[in-house]
Amino acid sequence: MNLFLKNYKIVLLISTFFMSCNTQQEVTVSKTTSNEVSTSSKKVKNIILLIGDGMGLSQVSASQFYNKKTSNFERFPVIGLSKTSSASELITDSAAGATAFASGIKTYNGALGVNTDTLAVKTIVEEISKIGISTGIISTSSIVHATPAAFYTHTKKRSMYEDIATQLVNSDIDFFAGGGIKYFNDRKDKRDLILELEQKGFSVNTQSLPMNTKPVFNKKQGYLLASNGMPKMLDGRGEFLTNATKLALESLSSNEEGFFLMIEGSQIDWGGHDNDAEYLISELIDFDNTIGIALDFAELDGETLVIVTADHETGGFTLAQDNGDYNKIKPVFSTGGHSATMVPVFAKGPNAIDFGGIYENTSIYNKMKSFFFENNNN
C-alpha cells in the first residue's frame, strides 16, 4: 500500500476515535500539505471576504513565483471555482460581479445592488446589520468604486459616484477605508458629506490611518485618504491595505455579535487592464500580505471564516515561458479587458469545507448569509 495512503488512514482512524470520545473537542484531518480542514463544531461568528479584483489563477500563481516570502494562498485547505458571468454578458464587470457577492443575484453589467429591472435588492450588509453584526469595507480604489459600493448602495449605473457617496452616509457600514474624498467634499451639489458622516456618528480622517494613538472604538470610523483611488504600490502607497485591515479587525471585533469585513485589492485589476505585469504583481503581493493578516486573526480567534476570491479575471494574464526557455517566466496578456475564465475561491475556518467544488458566484452570498443567521439567536 502506498505509504501516504497508509498513514492517511491511520490519522483518519485516530481522528474518528477522538471525535466519538468527545464531540466538543476540535479535531483536524491531516492533509498532504501543512493546511488542515477543521471539523470543529464551532459556528461562524465573523466573516472576512477578500476580493482580488481581476485576480485569476495565473495572478495567484504570480504571488508564488515573485513573492520573496511563502505565499499566504498556500495556507488555505479548501479551494473551489466560481463561475463569473453576469445576467447580461458572458463576461462580467466588477459591479455585477460584486453585486453577486453582496446580494446573491445575477444582474446586468454596471448595476450595483439592483436587479435586471433596476429594482433594489437587499445587501448582506443591510440584512446582517439588523441582527447586530458590525460591517466594514476597505479598498485600494475609491470607496465609491464598483466593488466596495455594491455592499451598501442601490444604483442603476456604477458611474453615479456622487449618488453612491450619499448612500454611504445613510448606510449600515460601521467602518470604511479607501480613497474618494472628492465625492464627499467637492461635489456638484455643494453638500459636505464628511460633515454629514460626522453627524451620523462617524469619526472621519482624511489625512492618514492612526499610528501611535488608538481610535475611539465606540464611534464608527471612516478614512478617505486620496482624492480618488489610492496610489499604486509602485508609487508609494505603502502598507495602507495591511494597516487598514488590522485597524478594522481591532475595531469590528469588539462587537460580541460578530462582524463582516470586505477587503478589496482593487488595483490588481488595473494592472491587468494596463497589461503592466510589474504593476499587477506589486498589487497582488500587497493583497497576499493582507490575506496573511486576516488568516493570522482567524487562526487565533477560532470563529472567523476567511474567504478569498475574485469578481473576474482581467488581462488574460499568463505566466508563459520566455522565448523557449522553460526555466524563465514571461508574464503575457491576451486582452486589455476582462475574461470569462472561472476564478478560484479559497476558504479557511469554520464551514470552509462548503466552498469546495464549482458553483455560481451568487453561492458565496448564500453561504455567508446562512452562516450568519444560523449563528444568530435573536
Backbone angles phi, psi at 96, to 5 degrees: -65, -40
Alpha helix (H) residue ranges in the chain:
3-21, 57-66, 94-103, 124-129, 146-149, 161-169, 182-185, 193-199, 240-252, 267-273, 277-301, 362-374
82 belongs to the catalytic site: no
What secondary structure, in 3-state letters, does 67-97 show? CCCCCHHHHCCEEEEEECCCCCCCCCCHHHH
Helices 362-374 and 94-103, interaxial angle, to 10°? 30
Q: Three-state SS for 13? A: helix
| Residue of 63, 71, 94, 139 marked catalytic | 94
Picking from 129, 125, 120, the residue whose alpha carbon sits closest to that of residue 101 is 125
CA dihedral 370, 373, 375, 378 (to 10 degrees): -170
Longest CA–CA separation in the chain, Å: 75
State which amino acid sits at residue 352: A
Question: Using CA atoms, how far apart are residues 274 and 98, in angstroms rounded to an integer?
Answer: 21
Active site positions, annotated: 94
